[in-house]
Amino acid sequence: MDKLKFYIDGAWVDPAMPATLGVQNPATEEIFAKISLGSRQDVDRAAGVARRAFASYSVTSAETRLGYLRKIIAGFKARLPELARTMTLEMGAPITFATERQATVALFHFEEIVRVLEKYNFEEPMGPGVVRREPIGVCGLITPWNWPLNQVASKVAPALAAGCTVVLKPSEIAPLSALLFAEILHDAGLPPGVFNLVNGDGPTVGEAIAAHPGIDMVSFTGSTAAGIRVAKLAADTVKRVAQELGGKSANIILPDADLQAAVIQGVHACYTNGGQNCQSPTRMLIPRAQRDEAFAAARVAVDAVRLGDPLDPATTLGPMVSQGQFDKIQALIQSGIDEGATLVAGGTGRPAEINRGYYVRPTVFGDVTPQMKIAREEIFGPVLSIMSYDSEDEAIEITNDTPFGLAGFVQSKDRDHARAVANRIRAGRVYLNGAPFDRSLPFGGYKQSGNGREFGVFGFEEYLEVKAILG
């Protein structure tokens, strides 16, 4: 499965300088593929051809771009099982989840952007003139390993629909599905230079993209620390920066909710994608009087988790993506124990029945207080903190007491009451009563969870400039 070439100017090309990196299967700890690591020269080459292609692609009709997008959708559907299996191998997502969520949600972004583009009006009269929306230019897209195709698709789809050209750097930890995706785009007949892919690490290729004077916009998904670095590098060329960063989302279970059902649902939501999910509801807020009942329900939920081989369709929780991620999670679990939280389920170390792979025991802490490390830091693993509150105002205060603001969750039998609480949460998206993910509504964060929005028409307009024409 070695993939040593980059996709630049409509062709698979050798890197400017030979350097390789092994891709590890986190379930077996074995290297099963190699990729090339790019350099500033590769980014420069890709940005140059993207700039040249922009001159013609930016003035194509919406109908022409819709034709390309529909071909991409058809190719994606044809290769969906292969894409899902590749993500299972490269980052450990259980095959059922990789098929039904990882690959399928990525496809959804292309289907959604077709719906947006079919109806979008690029010009409208306003006052004494016309407001016109035009593609922003060459877009540098930097994507993470936890949703390897979802984040690629949520950026590439609107960029191509808007008439932009692209230089993509997928995560070097989980790069193979993005390379298959590049094959799909090639087969769709996109003009050379419209889409380009350069593999590499953040400090080299990612930083080269962020700083490149030939790139007009950078869209980044990843940690807040890395996002700050991207923004600083982008500042010298005053390019647009859109970011989706970390999260520490709260799940407020109000006193009138069905507590057992809400807790069980909340535990499983926290463990989505192995907890390697930026909007996971990792802080569960419960009425203090319902503490013991909540702990019991959490244990029921943990008992239902099925760890194992991610290629087994019955597995619901696979390994963490890497040794580094495993070690970070272990240290944070230990910090919860050391700081006096009650260990409701799980704990440190691998599950007893597993002797290899980066598997973490699904863990729940109770009696967590707002200043504990596990309540403040993004753990990015299957670790839930249950926190108690005495009043609704206190619950909202705890919820908003974080530098993050990506998502929030509210559980109540009274939908109007839940909505009133949601309005007070400082976050970019709030789910009421287990509402499902939706690709058409905007996704993005307040505060240090980022700026800009992805998905649907809001995500599409991130890739457009606004021009006023008077007279």
- Asked if residue 442 is part of any domain, the answer here is no
- Asked if residue 390 is part of any domain, the answer here is yes
Whole-number Cα distances in Å, 226 to 144, 201, 230, 233? 11, 12, 6, 11
The SS3 of residue 189 is coil
Q: Which two tokens stand for residue 451?
A: 């700026």
Q: Which two tokens stand for residue 42?
A: 């590769």
- Asked if residue 440 is part of any domain, the answer here is no
The CATH number linked to 258 is 3.40.309.10
Question: Do both 174 and 314 map to the same domain?
Answer: no
Is the per-residue pLDDT at 458 higher than 90?
yes
pLDDT of residue 310: 98
**Amino acid found at 321:** V
317 and 329 Cβ atoms separated by less than 8 Å: no
Question: Do both 284 and 338 map to the same domain?
Answer: yes
Question: Do both 405 and 268 map to the same domain?
Answer: yes
Is the per-residue pLDDT at 384 higher than 90?
yes
Residue 283's Cα: distance from chain center in Å? 19
Neighbours of 140 (CB within 10 A): 33
Neighbours of 63 (CB within 10 A): 9
Question: Do both 178 and 269 map to the same domain?
Answer: no
- Asked if residue 344 is part of any domain, the answer here is yes
Q: Give 7-16 pLDDT, tens digit per residue.
A: 999 999 999 9
- CA distance linking residue 94 with residue 437, whole number of Å: 19
- CA distance linking residue 348 with residue 133, whole number of Å: 53
Q: Which two tokens stand for residue 232?
A: 């600083």
What is the number of domains present in the chain?
A: 2
Angle of CA points 417, 246, 303, to nearest 5°: 70
Q: Which residue has the higher pLDDT, 116 or 439?
A: 116
pLDDT of residue 249: 98
pLDDT of residue 113: 98
- Asked if residue 22 is part of any domain, the answer here is yes
Question: Do both 236 and 296 map to the same domain?
Answer: no
Question: Do both 220 and 352 map to the same domain?
Answer: no
Name the residue range of residue 227's domain. 6-245+447-470
Q: Give 389-442 pLDDT, tens digit per residue.
A: 999 999 999 999 999 999 999 999 999 999 999 999 999 999 999 999 999 999
Angle of CA points 238, 468, 165, to nearest 5°: 50
Question: Do both 260 and 172 map to the same domain?
Answer: no
- Asked if residue 439 is part of any domain, the answer here is no
Stretch 139-152: mean pLDDT: 98
Stretch 442-456: mean pLDDT: 97
The SS3 of residue 197 is strand
Could you tell me which of 40, 47, 37, 33 has the C-alpha nearest to residue 14?
A: 37
Is the per-residue pLDDT at 50 higher than 90?
yes
Question: Do both 418 and 340 map to the same domain?
Answer: yes
The SS3 of residue 231 is helix
pLDDT of residue 275: 97
- Asked if residue 438 is part of any domain, the answer here is no
Q: Give 277-325 pLDDT, tens digit per residue.
A: 999 999 999 999 999 999 999 999 999 999 999 999 999 999 999 999 9
Share of residues in the chain with pLDDT > 70 (%): 100
Mean pLDDT of the chain: 97
425 and 404 Cβ atoms separated by less than 8 Å: no
- Asked if residue 1 is part of any domain, the answer here is no
Question: Do both 270 and 398 map to the same domain?
Answer: yes
Question: Do both 127 and 194 map to the same domain?
Answer: yes
457 pLDDT tier (thresholds 50, 70, 90): very high
pLDDT of residue 1: 83
- CA distance linking residue 377 with residue 359, whole number of Å: 20
**Amino acid found at 369:** T
Question: Do both 232 and 272 map to the same domain?
Answer: no
Largest CA distance in the chain: 74
Question: Do both 236 and 281 map to the same domain?
Answer: no
The CATH number linked to 129 is 3.40.605.10
Sign for the pseudo-dihedral over CA of 180, 50, 452, 130: negative
107-110, long-range: CB < 8 A, 24+ apart: 107/73, 107/76, 107/77, 107/80, 107/153, 108/439, 109/150, 109/153, 109/154, 109/157, 109/158, 109/439, 109/455, 110/69, 110/72, 110/73, 110/76, 110/153, 110/157
Which residues are tagged catalytic?
244, 278
